[in-house]
Structure 1
């Protein structure tokens, strides 16, 4: 059964904007976009006058096992595996309803994100397409250790990397530096070494997988980039040398601007662990400046929220887009960072991530044009996944 949606504005995800255009889908695929779609007939036609269509969003950094409560590590410590699985499903649904049809989950205890991914793919539950890391790989006592696999030295890292890949991970997550949420570690301090990370990258490449590195401090970011990491997560303390290194290596930055924003905004709540408030407050302005400089220099960006961290709720993807806009990105660049460019990081850009003939029919309908009103990103009217409506506002 084919469906044509006509009289719409379309952002393809690759920088193009089509006005008074159309899209035709059949089963789970896009069969025509633009002029070809305008001229083509379909079994069903819908008038989308005043609406805007975008590819389904990718949130490239989330934690489905965390709800965004003030102390997520306390939640992880008390959850059973079954409770965590239910939490993944509830949070996945919130992501889908915000227009996020694909997520990259970068850290779940017990590798539950991988089981949730398989349940979605099998049709057991409704949720976004999941690309998961399982448990992150950290040094002993490193950032995020309550939900991670701890390993030290190249041999141990190689063993754990292989074990994580055996579990079915799509991406290996490694901690290059300390972080905000873990007590007793400094966000600016290096953790896993360049050689340790290089070992994990090698194993991921052998398996045809990608890598991501939590990296906040300058030295740790440089270590990760030289190690061949696919994406730098956060990138809080960037200097000119580090930015040049990222451009040279083609390293993608996933900024997660919403994570420190919500901690600083809610610092006076009294509920967030004091160590996290202190560190986030210290990092906040540097993070914004680093992002601005990276964008200006031409570092590749993919959108990710770090949803699940304090007060950083699943389903609030639009806040990250707003912060990216404040940091100097245009609307079309933001759309690309949240769609095609994100898909490219995962090496799935030939199947999804843009509105092009032959691709999977993951797309969203907005009530407004985001170039006319940036608030349009919060006006999600309908979400289609694989050609099926999965949410109507």
Structure 2
């Protein structure tokens, strides 16, 4: 018999920009069956009823940039290099549980030490382990000696790029990740220097396109961003050092920015001696203010923004993903637009806009029920004791309602 559940008298932020007061949402099986005013919808006989008075219901959130293989240690590169792949996988499963407990029902994992991320994805999909849906890239594609080589495959030339991209897709990749500039965590790389050529990046885009997949490009500096945009990527991860030309290109081509403000902020906030390598601290501190200005510029200019945290980087913990929304609001984004960046906009970026990201009939019932109003105080979404229920595919999987 199909399960039916009704959430009544709740405030509903539906992911389209609309707010319903005293609304009812009916879930039938794993799908949303109806949304409407409390007086307009009748609850089917036998349905489980959840009292939503004082609560806000919104779509399950989507984090477009995580690394479940990284554990937020001070020196994440050393940590992942020193532990066994099997231990990394076990830790990744624990981090997946922390993530869904925080109301993140889907993640895009854009760089793992190996292909075990796809085994974790399958285990979660089969209900063996709790966790969010995973759209994973597997290994990132980088130049020889380039950024992210500790979770990547090093390549040289278009032919190698095509071969490695096909290998990632064959292993189960739902997105291809390319490295278009140096980075913060990798020793000997400069964030403002471009890496990989336009033709190499375009080769990855072409292979992904043949499989109907998208390409995410790590890029801090403007030159790397421009190369990636001209190559046809779908998102710029970090977008730290924007200039006017890059903003124009992103708008022209409809390329998303995934700002990952939390990554630099949590690193730069640490003092020397905390365990973060000095070179990493220096790079993070040198870019944080510029990163904030770039985010504000992108938002004001109408660049599409999808939420991503880079969870797993130093002191940027899995399960604290919603801190990214607080940071975006503090830099001028409205609370509604911040929520949209983690729901409908994120769903479009990961290619699930017809399934997730909004509370509408026939959509997958991934929902988050919280105590309070995040439109008045976005920090409600960051407080574990405010999470009343996390629903994935029509079942409460976390929060007090999961125990009811």
Structure-1 separation of matches of 2:156 and 2:38: 56
1:84–1:112 contact (8 Å) kept in structure 2? no
- TM-score normalised over the length of structure 1: 0.98
Q: Does 1:126 align with 2:133?
A: no
Determine whether 1:354 maps to 2:358.
yes
Q: Say which of 370, 373, 379 aligns to 1:375.
A: 379
Q: Secondary structure at the match of 1:110?
A: coil
* 1:270 to partner: Cα distance: 2.8
In structure 1, the partner of 2:109 is: 105
How big is the shift at 1:114? 1.4
- Tell me the CA shift for residue 113 of structure 1: 1.4
**1:256 aligns to what?**
260
In structure 2, distance between residues paired with 1:372 and 1:36: 23
Q: Which runs of 5 or more structure 1 residues have no equivalent in the other structure?
A: none
Map 1:135-154 onto structure 2 (within 5 A): 135-154=139-158
Q: 2:187 pairs with 156, 162, 183, which one?
A: 183
Q: 1:23 corresponds to which residue?
A: 25
**Using the alignment, how far apart are the partners of 1:268 and 1:168 within structure 2?**
40
Q: Hey, what does 1:8 align to over in structure 2?
A: 10
2:92 matched to which residue of 1?
Answer: 88
Offset of residue 267 of structure 1? 3.0
Instruction: Tell me which residue corresponds to 2:239.
Output: 235
1:270 to 267, 271, 274: 274
Unaligned runs of 5+ in 2: none
Contact kept, 8 Å, 1:52 with 1:369, in 2: the verdict is yes
- Give 1:200 shift: 0.3
What residue is the counterpart of 1:77 in the other structure? 81
1:235-384 equivalences in 2 (<5 Å)? 235-378=239-382, 379-384=386-391
The secondary structure found in structure 1 opposite 2:122 is: helix
1:111 CA drift (Å): 1.6
Instruction: Tell whether the 8 Å contact from 1:351 to 1:360 is kept in structure 2 after alignment.
Output: yes
1:243-293 superposed Cα distances (whole Å, 9 cap, x missing partner)? 000000000000000000001111334310111000001111110000000
Q: What TM-score comes out, normalization by structure 2 length?
A: 0.95
Runs of 4+ in structure 1 over 6 Å off: none
SS in 1 for 2:6: strand
* Counterpart residue number, 2:394: 387
RMSD: 1.1
Residue of structure 2 in register with 1:160 after alignment? 164
CA distance, structure 2, for counterparts of residue 236 and residue 34 of structure 1: 41
